[in-house]
């Protein structure tokens, strides 16, 4: 028999959300899943094929542990892929993370989750369907990740031209990275192209992210700067920012060890999106501070506070505003958030 590894995390906590963009909407108190790490259950395995080759797979379900439902869409929408690794690097095929998210969420002190996550404000693609990925070996600390999909958002359509304004989204992404001792830096270059029967057919969105961390020991500093340029509107289904043509965004963060088991996290994130047609630019800024205390290698308790400021242009269009807690596109319009909970990995 084969040896399959079961892995995952269950994270549940209390979350308070306030200061809604719509002033008529009152505060929300909730027991929520994934307050510092999304709850998930996964299965993975590897097989040595000889000749330095390895086959492997990952199947990972997202779970909303507060309601017992699947989180994030499909049953195995977190990850589902097969891989083949060798001296040449690692090839993967299936639903996988985008290189852009791999870079920026690694750099973010909050790892791209909880109320303080950079991607409440900073636009990023998360995962793509139908993705072929390549990760090179490390050449003296230098490596390259590349990814290509014929449609990142659902099955490829007949004729590779999806119905509607956005349709199939072809994406190509390349991520050179350098790691050496305390330094990690990466440059992400990405190209999205709509193949549709509608408005954006043939349009592109070009994305650039330069991000890195430097670990001084007493503190680990993080910084990222990103640009998104759309031919005609940022049609990416992950950002929902269809009214934006140009976006500039950045964040800085710090992670400070506090005693043997604790760490303090803090960050500031900002974004400016230029509207396509006239009007003021949408601007959003977020600062966040958090604390984690490890009860063991697998289990921790945590608390985070974050506050977003959306300017009037951002508030006018919910498509352009940032909201606390569940990533850019999934928010309820709340601009302050506090979450505290327990995370148990296995």
Q: Of 183-212, which residues contact a second copy (CB under 8 A)?
A: none
Q: Does 39 bind a second copy (CB under 8 A)?
A: yes
Q: Does 260 bind a second copy (CB under 8 A)?
A: no
CB of 188 to a second copy, least distance (A): 21
Do residues 28 and 61 make contact, with C-beta atoms less than 8 angstroms apart? no
Q: Does 214 bind a second copy (CB under 8 A)?
A: no
User: Per-residue x/- mask for a second copy, residues 1 to 30, rule CB under 8 A?
Assistant: xx-xxxxx-xxxx---x--x----xxxxxx
Restricting to residues 80-109, name those near a second copy by CB under 8 A.
80-82, 84, 93-95
Do residues 110 and 288 make contact, with C-beta atoms less than 8 angstroms apart? yes
Instruction: Residue 152: name the closest of 74, 227, 76, 238 by CA.
Output: 238
Do residues 213 and 245 make contact, with C-beta atoms less than 8 angstroms apart? no
Q: Which of 180, 261, 298, 330 binds a second copy (CB under 8 A)?
A: 298
Report which secondary-structure segment, H or E, holds 76: none
CB of 33 to a second copy, least distance (A): 7
Q: What is d(CA 92, CA 99) in angstroms, rounded to the nearest whole number?
A: 13
In DSSP terms, 18 is beta-bridged to 336
Q: Does 346 bind a second copy (CB under 8 A)?
A: yes
Residue 83, CA distances (Å) to 40, 94, 139, 150, 324 in order: 21, 9, 21, 18, 35
CB of 57 to a second copy, least distance (A): 4
Q: Which of 52, 73, 182, 257 binds a second copy (CB under 8 A)?
A: 73
Distance of CA 263 to the CA centre of its chain: 22
CB of 341 to a second copy, least distance (A): 7
Is residue 271 helix, strand or coil?
strand
CB of 169 to a second copy, least distance (A): 13
Q: Which of 102, 135, 147, 150 binds a second copy (CB under 8 A)?
A: 150
CB of 223 to a second copy, least distance (A): 32
Q: 10 Å Cβ neighbour count for 1?
A: 3
Q: Which of 34, 38, 78, 265 binds a second copy (CB under 8 A)?
A: 78
CB of 258 to a second copy, least distance (A): 19
End-to-end CA distance of the chain: 22
Residue 323, CA distances (Å) to 249, 257, 314, 339 in order: 15, 28, 11, 14
CB of 277 to a second copy, least distance (A): 30
Closer CB to a second copy, 94 or 322, in the complex: 94
| Chain position carrying tokens 């950079």 | 118
Closer CB to a second copy, 21 or 205, in the complex: 21
Q: Which of 36, 37, 61, 236 binds a second copy (CB under 8 A)?
A: 61
Q: Does 136 bind a second copy (CB under 8 A)?
A: no
Q: What is d(CA 321, CA 27) in angstroms, rounded to the nearest whole number?
A: 18
Backbone φ and ψ of 338, nearest 5°: -135, 135
Closer CB to a second copy, 12 or 219, in the complex: 12
Q: Does 265 bind a second copy (CB under 8 A)?
A: no
């Amino acid at each position: 028999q084969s040896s399959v590894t079961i892995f995952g995390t269950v994270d549940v906590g209390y979350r308070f959300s306030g200061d809604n963009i719509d002033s008529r909407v009152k505060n929300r108190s909730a027991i929520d899943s994934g307050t510092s790490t999304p709850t998930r259950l996964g299965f993975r395995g590897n097989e040595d094929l000889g000749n330095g080759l390895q086959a492997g797979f990952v199947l990972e379900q997202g779970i909303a542990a507060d309601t017992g439902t699947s989180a994030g869409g499909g049953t195995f929408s977190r990850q589902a892929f097969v891989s083949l690794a060798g001296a040449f690097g690692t090839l993967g095929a299936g639903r996988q993370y985008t290189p852009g998210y791999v870079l920026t969420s690694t750099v973010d002190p909050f790892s791209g989750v909880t109320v303080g996550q950079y991607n409440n404000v900073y636009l990023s693609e998360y995962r793509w369907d139908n993705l072929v990925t390549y990760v090179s070996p490390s050449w003296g600390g230098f490596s390259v990740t590349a990814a290509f999909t014929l449609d990142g958002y659902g099955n490829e359509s007949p004729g590779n031209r999806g119905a509607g304004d956005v349709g199939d989204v072809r994406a190509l992404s390349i991520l050179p990275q350098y790691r050496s001792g305390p330094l990690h830096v990466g440059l992400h270059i990405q190209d999205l192209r709509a193949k549709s029967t509608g408005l954006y057919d043939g349009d592109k969105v070009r994305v650039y992210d330069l991000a890195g961390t430097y670990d001084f020991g007493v503190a680990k500093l993080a910084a990222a700067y990103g640009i998104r340029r759309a031919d005609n509107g940022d049609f990416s289904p992950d950002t929902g920012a269809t009214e934006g043509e140009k976006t500039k965004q950045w964040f800085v963060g710090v992670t400070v060890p506090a005693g043997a088991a604790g760490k303090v996290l803090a960050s500031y994130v900002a974004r400016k999106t230029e509207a396509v047609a006239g009007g003021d630019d949408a601007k959003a800024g977020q600062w966040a501070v958090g604390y984690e205390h490890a009860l063991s290698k697998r289990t921790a308790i945590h608390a985070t506070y974050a506050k977003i400021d959306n300017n009037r242009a951002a508030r006018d269009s919910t498509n352009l505003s940032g909201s606390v807690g569940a990533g850019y596109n999934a928010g309820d319009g709340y601009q302050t958030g506090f979450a505290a909970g327990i995370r148990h990995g296995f």
